[in-house]
Structure 1
Amino acid sequence: MFWSCTLKIIFFCNDLPFFVNHFSTLARRTHEKGYDVIVLAGGATPEAVHSVERLGCRLIQLNISRSGTNPWQELAAFRQIWQVIRAENPDIMQLLTIKPCIYGGIAARFLKVPKVVGTVTGLGYTFSGSTLKAIIRKNMLLFLYRFAFGGSRRDVKLVFENLDDKSFFEQSKVILPAQTSRVWGAGVDLKRFSFKSQHPIAASDKVFRVVLPSRMLKDKGILEFIAAADILKNKGAPVEMVLVGGTDSANPASLKNEDIMQWVDRGVITWLGYRNDMPEQLQQADIVCLPSYREGMPKVILEAMACGKAIITTNVPGCREAIEPLVHGLIVPAADSAALAAAIVQLVENPKQLEMMGHAARQRATMLFADTMIADNYLSLYEVSAGFGS
């Protein structure tokens, strides 16, 4: 049971549509518990702004880029963050994604915000690269994380979505284990992403729909998926390989439209682009695939499992924790298109196993991934820190 309170909390995220897609339930439940809720975010779209207003939250728009590195622009963004925190004087700050964790964490430390909770939603291409530039960038970010959250402080908590990232930060001396927590990502709306029975999966004329729902980024395994599709096409496998998601010009790992269209024109894949009907897209799939190089806790896998779909994903942080191999799906090595193609064939040739995996996936989602359950985990962190629990 939660206590009613009038504490002020700022949710800080650099991209408002991302916040709405992942953390609307948390913001709504925080508002319902009596908090004065402020959303500080960049990248606002009219639809996202309207969504925040419907949640009953106050929005402060911020001029910040997700991936920008211009020092003057970043300094201007930090100054705006500092001014907002000083003017609003929040009791709690919830920081989401890398830039908000670092910029917001540093500002909150100097402005003595009573409680700071940072969520590491994933480390992405910054931490998966092996070039000299990537290594320098990674070490710089670790230094900034230490500055924002380090030391034996009772006023900070870092929340991780997988145990690999949690262990990495602890071993890198960014934060003490007692200052960390773990959640199953942002969770999933189990009513919106629901299980729906389809035509018999073992029908002899069945063409299996294999869907990769993601932004078209190289580190999501898009190229491996396309290569696997080419292998399966040459073998005459009864599959339709479908990409669902748009390109992302702000991300250096993004493919270009013309890169993908050459494979579409060859009949290797189907590309639907960005869609706002993801429950339907996942429900129409037979297999959902995410051959990513690294994740926090991939929301799309949780959503697919809630829809009762078998999963094929990679043996990398985040992905490997989402499922149990041979129970909810299959795990393959990252960057291995041949292994990915073989895993797809294995499930296509064993439709009964595929069906059982789907049912088990829905059960796991119901037990672990409900967004209301995840929101209550966060509320417990806020309210214990505010003196309402122990």
Structure 2
Amino acid sequence: MKIAFVANTCWNIYNFRKGLVHHFLSKGDEVIVLAPKDEYTDRIKSWGVKWLDTPLEGTSVNPFREFKYLLRIYSIFKSERPALALTYTIKPNIYSSLVSKWTPTKVICNVSGLGTIFLTTGLIGKLALILYRQAFKFSSYVFFQNSDDRELFTSKIKVESYKIGLIPGSGINLEQFKPLAFTQNTKTKFLMISRLIIEKGVREYAEAAKAFKDDKNVAFTLVGKFDTNHSRSIDEKELKQWITNGWIQYQPHSDNISNIIESHDVIVLPSYREGTPRTLLEGAAHARPLLASDVPGCREVVKNGYNGFLFEPLNSSSLINKMKLFLSLSIDEKKHLANNSRELVEKNFDEKLVVDAYEEAIHRIIKVS
């Protein structure tokens, strides 16, 4: 069977869909990837997949460019004739579903968070709602990453109940992300891994770092790409100020995030809303306590008092208080949180659960000989 993965970046496929791609390849399925070219394109091609350039501007509302993207997907579906397309992020979900109306390809969408639609009131969010309503009439199945997203989405966009499923995000490879020893360091190091956009809570994290600027026993690290093209990116001057003032240590990117997690004590995510945040899954799999905002997506991975602490979203004071609470714990209490993090992902977020869910959905909509 030929299976297409459609995403907004090759980075998305490499970081979040690797296990699923390799699962299909191991079965002898043919995999093609539709995504724009980026620094991860050659890496996914090395897996033995066929990559087809599909240029996409994530925040564009230019009708000509949008129609060109739609036609590109249509032409590939017509020429390559994949039996199935697995799609990720808003535009691939919408346009692949629309194209499935005119092609035999069945589409399984993954709605990984509702930030653009429900956290903003701009033109892109409104347009996405309209297009989703039309497109999802033709999708064959839709996965959501938490029940809150499912309920909110389906309250605004009708999707038949038999076409809906829940998965634990992208899951986590428990063999790759093994538990790391938690030791008492002289300095407690907080770590946030995220794109530098407002809705991820980057400013709240910086405010918390500022509050501890005179405490030599605490350090803050921020890892993530700065995207000047994103409409909700933080201001570059802000980032430079945080660094210059010594509030945070900044690293734009890392291909070995496990090494960074190993050198830190706590993973922090002050996001305003999530699907199932990969950064928390990776931290938990490596046996690290977690601090996250009490919002959909985060609260599925962080159980308050069990493997970390939840705080109020958009509230740096609440985040600071939970950081102080963590700092007040004994080393044994911190280790207990760390061990619970690993146990939680082993039980609820194993990547194998995602693979099984996709296989079940595929067998519902395609008769495999």
- Which deviates more from structure 2 when the two are superposed, residues 368-377 or residues 311-320? 368-377
Give distance in 2, aligned partners of 1:329 and 1:71. Answer: 45
- Which deviates more from structure 2 when the two are superposed, residues 272-281 or residues 340-349? 272-281
Counterpart for residue 112 of structure 2: 121
Give distance in 2, aligned partners of 1:16 and 1:145. Answer: 23
Return the offset for 1:380. Answer: 2.4
Give distance in 1, aligned partners of 2:232 and 2:285. Answer: 28
Q: Secondary structure, in 3 states, of the residue corresponding to 1:30? A: helix
Counterpart for residue 71 of structure 1: 63
CA root-mean-square deviation: 1.8
Structure 1 position 103 matched with structure 2 position 83:
no
Q: Secondary structure, in 3 states, of the residue corresponding to 2:190? A: strand
Counterpart for residue 184 of structure 1: 168
Structure 1 letter corresponding to 2:151: S
- List aligned pairs for 1:79-158, cutoff 5 A: 79-113=71-105, 115-129=106-120, 131=121, 134=122, 137-150=124-137, 156-158=140-142
Return the offset for 1:283. Answer: 1.6
Give distance in 2, aligned partners of 1:331 and 1:160. Answer: 22
Give distance in 2, aligned partners of 1:216 and 1:229. Answer: 15
Query: What fraction of aligned residue pairs are identical, expressed as a percent?
Result: 25
Aligned equivalent of 2:256, options 262, 274, 277:
277
Structure 1 letter corresponding to 2:58: R
Q: Deviations over 1:243-286 (max 9, x none)?
A: 11120123112124432121221122211221222011112111
Give distance in 2, aligned partners of 1:254 and 1:298. Answer: 18
Q: Deviations over 1:116-161 (max 9, x none)?
A: 20000112234212x4xx2x543432221121123xx7x6111011
Structure 2 letter corresponding to 1:69: V
Structure 1 position 19 matched with structure 2 position 10:
no
Q: 1:237 to 1:162 in 2, by over 3 A?
A: farther
Counterpart for residue 3 of structure 1: none
- Which deviates more from structure 2 when the two are superposed, residues 218-227 or residues 187-196? 187-196
Structure 1 position 160 matched with structure 2 position 144:
yes
Counterpart for residue 239 of structure 1: 218
User: Which runs of 5 or more residues in structure 1 are unaligned?
Assistant: 1-6
Equivalenced residue count is 368
Return the offset for 1:237. Answer: 6.9
Return the offset for 1:299. Answer: 0.5
Give distance in 2, aligned partners of 1:251 and 1:379. Answer: 35
Give distance in 1, aligned partners of 2:264 and 2:206. Answer: 17
Return the offset for 1:357. Answer: 0.8
Q: Secondary structure, in 3 states, of the residue corresponding to 2:71? A: helix
Give distance in 2, aligned partners of 1:80 and 1:26. Answer: 24
Aligned equivalent of 1:338, options 303, 307, 317:
317
Q: Deviations over 1:282-323 (max 9, x none)?
A: 121111100001111100100000010111101112111122
Return the offset for 1:360. Answer: 0.4
Give distance in 1, aligned partners of 2:229 and 2:19. Answer: 27
The answer on whether the counterparts of 2:182 and 2:287 sit within 8 Å (CA) in structure 1 is no
Structure 1 letter corresponding to 2:142: L
Structure 1 position 255 matched with structure 2 position 249:
no
Structure 2 letter corresponding to 1:292: S
Q: 1:106 to 1:173 in 2, by over 3 A?
A: same
Structure 2 letter corresponding to 1:24: K
Counterpart for residue 38 of structure 2: 45
TM normalised by structure 1 equals: 0.89
Return the offset for 1:225. Answer: 0.6
TM normalised by structure 2 equals: 0.94
- Which deviates more from structure 2 when the two are superposed, residues 17-26 or residues 368-377? 368-377
Counterpart for residue 8 of structure 1: 2
Structure 1 position 348 matched with structure 2 position 327:
yes
Structure 2 letter corresponding to 1:123: L
User: Which runs of 5 or more residues in structure 2 are unaligned?
Assistant: none
Give distance in 2, aligned partners of 1:56 and 1:383. Answer: 24
Q: 1:273 to 1:139 in 2, by over 3 A?
A: closer
Structure 1 residue ranges (4+ consecutive) displaced by more than 4 angstroms after TM superposition:
none
Return the offset for 1:29. Answer: 0.6
Structure 1 position 54 matched with structure 2 position 46:
yes
The answer on whether the counterparts of 2:81 and 2:104 sit within 8 Å (CA) in structure 1 is no
The answer on whether the counterparts of 2:291 and 2:302 sit within 8 Å (CA) in structure 1 is no
Q: Deviations over 1:181-219 (max 9, x none)?
A: 0101111222332222143x2x6xx21000011111111
Give distance in 1, aligned partners of 2:232 and 2:335. Answer: 34
